[in-house]
Structure 1
Amino acid sequence: MKSSRKNKFFLILTVFLLLGPFFAPPALAEDPSPDYSQKQNWLALAGAPDKEVDVFWVYPTVYQGKPLVAAIDDPQMRQAAMRTLTTQASVFAESANIFAPMYRQVQMAVLKMSVQDQEKYLDIGYKDIEKAFDYYLKDLNQGRPFILAGHSQGSDQLSKLIKKRLNDPDLKSKLVAAYIIGWSITRQDLESHPYLQLCASDRDTGCIITYNCVAAGKQKAAPTILPGAVVVNPLSWNLGGAAIAADQNLGAAIFADNGKTSMEPGFTGAQAVEGGLVVNPRDAAKLTSMPFGPGVYHNYDYALFYQNLKVNLERRIKAYLSRGK
């Protein structure tokens, strides 16, 4: 009996050792780090900046390839990332010069891993973002104030950048604002990094705007809403929890697949509730891209408040420039 149990144990152990690699996260295989002096490694590169302020844009999760980490020149990622220049980063285009690096992005499957394993993969893209930002500051910025802006995975990477780099007073003095939208800045983040501040009015500068759009009761369904998440309401531009009516919404942008765009004022109100920005679109049937399920309006974080973001950006830039005179 004892011999039989012993043999069974060694059989199980052998099978485990043989099959273990198939159940572990795939080994990391990094391509060479991008050279940001090469134009092809940028999604957008303002060749002749004609505005007083720049925006450093980091695009959201768009990669759908089979390797967990995209190659820097993956054609599907570039094509999808280009669309974010129209549907999201266009908010900044009239007021700022856009600089947007390509980066080795992870696909959504990584989000199903443990946090520890996630970070191993996400760190590849973060290295690219930090390298691109350093190149931008040294060779492209030419002393102009700048905005940091992203969405989803892009905002996650930017949140790491601001935690690591904005403790430099000289660098922070050049920041107009950081639009960390579609990801969470938490109370713990603010406590651990006291040099980070949330925007509390539409003219505050050197501060962070952050929110994640959901229907009422869907906060826990949104993987981008982390415990302790804080919210800046894009209809009031403050941290209060009051419900702001839809008549304060200057226009949501509805981008159709045929390339046409409609602007719809009063499309939704907004209220900060339990770490999420609760919205109530008057025609939710027009919002069809729901990767995290019904009621999680993640893909519309910019679109729902498109005109308010544009107007706010103009006011915030004006406030920043006036303080330098």
Structure 2
Amino acid sequence: MRKFLYIIVAGILLSAAALFALRLYGERLTELVLVPSAPFEVQGALADNAYADPAMWFSRPGMDAPADPARWQPPVDAEKSLPAATPLPSEDPAATSAGPVPRFAVFFIHPTSYYSGQRWNAPLDDEGATTLARNFVRGMASAFNPASEIWAPRYRQAAFGAFVTTQHDAQRALDAAYADVAQAFDFFLASLDADTPFVLAGHSQGSVHLLRLLREKVAGTDLEPRLAMAYPIGWPISVAHDLPALPLPACADAQQTRCILAYASFAEPAEPGQFMTRYAAEPGADGQPRGAGDPILCVNPLTGAMGGVADISRNYGTLVPDANLESGELIAGAVPARCDPATGLLLIGDPPRMGPFVLPGNNYHSYDIPLFWANLRADVTRRMRAFAAR
């Protein structure tokens, strides 16, 4: 018994030491484990017609609903906790163009799902990255499923390690990933009717590519009037140095259209640390340095307006995922939301129980969209009605 107790105490001490080391050297350890040590490999361009293949899409029109992760709906029983005024997932107002929501399309770019340190870009045949990306589409793109069409491409994403280093190869990996996304976006546009409005949505790495699409594919073109909304969630956007270079302003109120809704979620006390390291180290879209004290854009998902505070009564439903991120339950009134005026972080109060993917520093990055799933669904519905009315 005494030896057993010694083993338990030793295990506790080792765990405490590991946590202490992670807290002190977490950023350095993350780099050592996740930043690829292999040289960057130039990827060949995809075939010109690559995205004509349905297998290159996680979601696209023509897929059977059970096979399309973006058309997934939370269990019906969970919806009973939502306020009656909230558009419930079971209503499916986008089922017909004559329904209460006008016809529109969504182009959704999934976040990073490739965590290997072996390559700078994920191969398309990586099973683990593909499965996780599909689960991300199920839990995130599904918030935008009032849309008539949802398109979510597969692409040779940059590895997670590209976001925790300032090495030149990290930007090369992002450029390579963006080339695939841009090609998918061109196919998406060519597949739409010429008068169909569209929404751009993404998370994390997906938002990085979304912002570049706005600058390089949309700004100053005839696409601008058709772009109804942009949701580049989970990536820091400098109010001073990034936002002015984009073709849309930040959303000032819940009825505004042709605006940007973005935020980054942290429980309190928030310790953004590594999340802001690369942001501060790199120049903004205007070429000017951002710096650690440069506030990021925060549009409160509970109010639909830039800045401000909203209590939990405004949260229509948080999608709490299961352990495998394959399903989840909607819980109303789970978290509040407050835009911190000094940093621009979206603060959600005490740390909620969402699952094992909370990052150090109370960073709820992995749950940015699920935390406000029902509100985002109501948001895109409301704004698309306003867009059609105008």
TM-score range, shorter chain: 0.7 to 0.9
Q: Is residue 2:199 matched to residue 1:144?
A: no
What residue is the counterpart of 1:28 in the other structure? 41
1:25, distance to aligned residue in structure 2 (A)? 6.1
Q: Distance in 1 between matches of 2:185 and 2:354?
A: 36
- Name the aligned partner's letter for residue 242 of structure 2: D
**Matching residue within 257, 272, 285 for 2:323:** 257
Say whether residues 1:128 and 2:180 are aligned partners: yes
Distance 1:58 1:43 in 2: 10
Question: Using the alignment, how far apart are the partners of 1:313 and 1:86 within structure 2?
Answer: 17
Give the whole-Å Cα distance in 2 for the aligned partners of 1:38 and 1:266.
42
* In the alignment, structure 1 residue 63 sits paired with structure 2 residue 108: no
Give the structure 2 partner of residue 220 of structure 1. 272
Q: CA–CA distance in 1 between the matches of 2:191 and 2:329?
A: 38
Aligned mates of 1:140, 1:73 — CA distance in 2: 28
Deviation of residue 293 (structure 1)? 1.2
Name the SS of the counterpart of 1:177 in structure 2.
Answer: strand
Structure 2 contact 354–367 (Cα < 8 Å) conserved? no
- Structure 1: stretches of 5+ with no match in the other structure: 1-22
Which consecutive segments of 4 or more residues in structure 1 shift more than 4 A? 48-51
Identity in percent: 29
How many residues of Structure 1 are paired with residues of Structure 2 in the alignment? Answer: 297
Give how far 1:217 is off.
4.3
1:190 to 221, 243, 247: 243
* In structure 2, C-alpha distance between the alignment counterparts of 1:192 and 1:294, rounded to whole Å: 30
CA distance in 2, matches of 1:192, 1:146: 20
Distance 2:242 2:110 in 1: 22
- Tell me how far 1:297 sits from its aligned partner: 0.3
Give 1:304's aligned residue.
371
Cα distance 1:308–1:24, how it changes in 2: closer, same or farther (>3 A)?
closer
User: Unaligned regions of 5+ residues in structure 2, if any?
Assistant: 1-35, 64-94, 98-102, 280-293
Is residue 2:381 matched to residue 1:314? yes
Distance 1:294 1:184 in 2: 16
Q: CA deviation at 1:222?
A: 5.3
Partner of residue 16, structure 1: none
Matched, 1:54 2:105: yes
* Structure 1: distance between partners of 2:355 and 2:264: 15
The whole-number CA distance in structure 2 between the counterparts of 1:232 and 1:122 is: 26
**What RMSD, in angstroms, separates the aligned Cα atoms of the two structures?**
2.3
Distance change (3 Å), C-alpha of 1:29 and 1:271: same
Alignment of 1:278-293 (within 5 A): 278-281=347-350, 284-290=352-358, 292-293=359-360
Question: 1:59-138 to 2 correspondence within 5 Å?
Answer: 59-65=110-116, 66-114=118-166, 116-138=168-190
> Could you state the TM-score of these two structures normalised by the residue count of structure 2?
0.71
**Structure 2 counterpart SS, 1:164:** helix
- Assess if the C-alpha contact under 8 Å between 1:182 and 1:224 holds in 2: no
Q: Distance in 1 between matches of 2:276 and 2:112?
A: 12
User: Structure 1 141/213 Cα, relative in aligned 2: closer, same or farther at 3 Å?
Assistant: farther
Give the Å deviation of 1:296: 0.2
CA distance, structure 1, for counterparts of residue 329 and residue 124 of structure 2? 33
Asked if the contact 1:149–1:155 (Cα under 8 Å) also holds between the matched residues in 2, the reply is yes
Distance 1:222 1:213, change over 3 A: farther
What CA distance in whole angstroms lies between the structure 2 residues aligned with 1:183 and 1:233?
Answer: 14
Task: Give the letter aligned to residue 305 of structure 1.
Answer: F
The equivalent residue for 1:43 is: 58
CA distance in 2, matches of 1:115, 1:202: 40
CA contact (8 A) 2:162 2:171 kept: no
Rate the CA distance shift 1:215–1:43 in 2: closer, same or farther, 3 A: same
